[in-house]
Structure 1
Amino acid sequence: MRTVILLLLGVHLAYAGTHSLKYFYTAVSGDIDFPEFTIVGLVDEGQFMYFDSNIKRVVPKTEWMRQKEGADYWDGETQTATGTHQNFRNNIQVAKERFNHSTGVHSFQFMYGCQLDDDGSTRGYWQYGYDGDDFISFDKSTLTWTAPNAQAVITKKKWDDDKAGNEYQKTYLENECIEWLKKYVGYGKDTLERKDAPEVFLLQKDPSSPVLCQATGFYPSNIMMTWQKNKEDHYEDVAVGTTLPNIDGTFQKTITLNPEEWKNNKEAYRCVVQHVGAAQDIVVTVKDIRSNPGSDNTIAIVVGCLVAVAAVLAAIVGLVLWKRSNGYGKASTKDSDSENSDQQLSQVTSK
């Protein structure tokens, strides 16, 4: 029986005037129906390039990238990605040894990128993860590495000593990455700087089910959704969902309310949505719940979310909630040899 596990990206959402560039490299081992290695590139949380070990080619995922970059660009990126695949095949095996994992499905990830805010300030991300947890991350302010678990301490000690490599990473995050981000935003300005307001509606499978407030079709991805009781923000028995991509490049998000909270006082509860594309708050009250949507409707929403994530992220593995990172990385080799335990990764930064 195949297990399908989606990669959920715990990323910073793009505010109006904020742009971001991120890459996710994922190696997978175990009995699972996904490519052994994938690269997903995101501009403002939308996929613009993709590579996996099955197709063996970096391909554009937006029309503006197809139009702006020619064969030389894609051939160069493919060559880099192919070499990186071999490194990550080694990385995941070493990580499994360190965690004493010989069977099962496992993932090793590298995420890097940068963010440019409308006030000119920047951020940089450069981080490795294993099975959805942080493994080691770079702090560019101190030029040191943070190891949240014992298995990464060997790596931290060696990488902290690589002063030249750490200076390079800091420079990359603060300069080269930002320049590529500006270039890509320029390519796709008409798409990336648009402001599409969300459509908001309430759904409920049956009277005993939670009420689902769903916003969909919005862009950019940052959105504020709250349940209110008597016009005051209400947090009890409320679950906030993850912002997910739609296949058309827009986004969707849900926030649910336990029916015990409102069923005897429907007039008091409402869902309030704020988005840069909407001139004013969008307010939907509980009395506006779509009547008897039925299980098919509810299932359609869930499946729609899964299909969107799978399409945009190629259904990469691991129950992963990840944070941040960027660029020039290194990989561990033999855990038993402290001098050789951290082989340097080849240059893996994409343009």
Structure 2
Amino acid sequence: MVKMVPILLSLPLLLGPAVPQGTQDGHYSLTYLYTGLSRPSKGIHRLQGTVFLNDRAFFRYDSEVGKAEPLGPWRHVEGVEDWEKQSQFQKARGEFFLETLKEIMEYYNNSNGSHALQERFGCEIQNNRSTEAFWKNAYDGKDYIEFNKEIPAWVPLVPEAQNTKQKWEAEPVYVLRAKAYLEEECPATLRKYLNYSKSILDQQDPPSVVVTSHQAPGKNKKLKCLAYDFYPGEIDVHWTRAGKVQEPDSGGDVLCSGNGTYLTWVVVHMSPKDSAPYSCYVQHSSLAQPLVVPGDAS
């Protein structure tokens, strides 16, 4: 069985010395997301972990490969991380994580079937100041336990998690170590990563916009406005009728497009007798001024 104390106490050695505080503008986050499975299926490994800087996948680890591997533009960034040391840490942490999954299954008397444990933790900074930290586990898709750094303590979210709380708080150092990680080491690590990553995270890709219309016989005309290939994901896309904002009939969600950018769309329906002008309005941080595309642009 992998002990929790060595895993936690190894963090300072892994993270290295604190990074001197420089000027960091804007809002940035570092998020670790792990998923462990009791019965992995073909193509899905027993343990998978992905680390994100803001909303961009930074590196991943899975139990099959056994290595921490940089992703996307970080494949070409030298010095951002000691990947051999990171791989060793991820392996040790993964063993502890899977052991925790086994224990939780016992608490629920779940000896059969496939079960999953997920964990999400990390921190955020804004203008170089730590603003938020989080650490929560979920079992089979339901919240299980979370860490409250203000108490500080592990807070059970279901009765079975009381067992995990008792184990993780058997020694006061466990709780203090988790608090120190969230409040000090995680922000320091994020600042270190930003020394190599700020230009990547600050990129601005303007949206491409396409307006289409479709009308079936005897039906209202459907107007669709699609915005795609934009980054970051915050965007305002809506329809106007004679200059007044219209509630969409569908759409509005912002989705990952798979290439590091985002896409979204909104749809409205208009009566064939409606002669008022419709326009799609698009506002994004990469644009000097909003795009306004007429509804009859198709």
TM bucket by the smaller chain? Answer: 0.7 to 0.9
Q: The residue matched to 1:68 in structure 2 has which SS?
A: coil
Q: The residue matched to 1:175 in structure 2 has which SS?
A: helix
Is 2:231 the counterpart of 1:222? no
Conserved 8 A contact 1:217-1:246: no
Q: The residue matched to 1:287 in structure 2 has which SS?
A: coil
Instruction: Provide, for residues 130-180 of structure 1, a one-character-per-residue CA deviation record: whole Å limited to 9, x for no partner.
Output: 233322111222313333333323334554675433332232222221122
Aligned to 2:63, which of 49, 53, 60? 53
Q: Distance in 2 between matches of 1:275 and 1:198?
A: 8
Conserved 8 A contact 1:266-1:287: no
Structure having the larger proportion of residues in strand: 2
Any gaps of 5 or more consecutive residues in structure 2? 1-24
Q: Distance in 1 between matches of 2:283 and 2:266?
A: 16
Q: Distance in 2 between matches of 1:68 and 1:25?
A: 25
Q: The residue matched to 2:296 in structure 1 has which SS?
A: helix
Q: How does 1:190-229 map to 2 (within 5 A)?
A: 190-202=199-211, 207=216, 213-228=225-240
Q: 1:154 to 1:191 in 2, by over 3 A?
A: same
More displaced 10-residue stretch of structure 1: 152-161 or 81-90: 152-161
Is 2:252 the counterpart of 1:244? no
Q: Which residue of 1 aligns with 2:156?
A: 147
Conserved 8 A contact 1:122-1:174: no
Q: How does 1:293-308 map to 2 (within 5 A)?
A: none
Conserved 8 A contact 1:40-1:49: yes
TM-score with structure 2 length normalisation?
Answer: 0.75
Compare relative contact order (CA 8 Å, sep 6+) and give the higher one, 1 or 2.
1
Q: What code does the residue aligned with 2:183 have?
A: E
Q: 1:84 to 1:159 in 2, by over 3 A?
A: closer
Aligned to 1:167, which of 153, 156, 176? 176
Q: Which residue of 2 aligns with 1:106?
A: 115
Any gaps of 5 or more consecutive residues in structure 1? 1-15, 291-351
Deviation at 1:77, TM superposition (A): 0.9
More displaced 10-residue stretch of structure 1: 167-176 or 220-229: 220-229
Conserved 8 A contact 2:222-2:270: no
Deviation at 1:42, TM superposition (A): 1.0
Aligned to 2:84, which of 75, 79, 90? 75
Conserved 8 A contact 1:273-1:283: yes
Instruction: Provide, for residues 192-235 of structure 1, a one-character-per-residue CA deviation record: whole Å limited to 9, x for no partner.
Output: 22222121224578858976543222222333334555544444
Q: Distance in 1 between matches of 2:95 and 2:181?
A: 23
Q: How does 1:176-187 map to 2 (within 5 A)?
A: 176-187=185-196
Q: Distance in 2 between matches of 1:160 and 1:225?
A: 48
Deviation at 1:98, TM superposition (A): 4.0
Aligned to 2:46, which of 17, 36, 54? 36
Q: Distance in 2 between matches of 1:48 and 1:196?
A: 19
Q: Distance in 2 between matches of 1:285 and 1:42?
A: 38
Conserved 8 A contact 2:50-2:57: yes
Q: Distance in 1 between matches of 2:243 and 2:157?
A: 42
Conserved 8 A contact 1:266-1:286: no
Q: What code does the residue aligned with 2:237 have?
A: M
Q: Which residue of 1 aligns with 2:21?
A: none
Conserved 8 A contact 1:240-1:255: yes
Q: Distance in 2 between matches of 1:29 and 1:211?
A: 47
Q: 1:236 to 1:88 in 2, by over 3 A?
A: same
Q: 1:116 to 1:234 in 2, by over 3 A?
A: farther
Q: Distance in 2 between matches of 1:266 and 1:174?
A: 58
TM-score with structure 1 length normalisation?
Answer: 0.65
Q: 1:128 to 1:31 in 2, by over 3 A?
A: closer
- How many residues align? The count is 269
Q: Which residue of 2 aligns with 1:281?
A: 290
Conserved 8 A contact 2:130-2:187: no
Q: 1:131 to 1:147 in 2, by over 3 A?
A: same
Conserved 8 A contact 1:136-1:152: yes
More displaced 10-residue stretch of structure 1: 97-106 or 189-198: 97-106
Deviation at 1:44, TM superposition (A): 1.9
Q: 1:220 to 1:82 in 2, by over 3 A?
A: same
Give the superposed CA RMSD: 3.3
Q: Distance in 2 between matches of 1:46 and 1:53?
A: 22
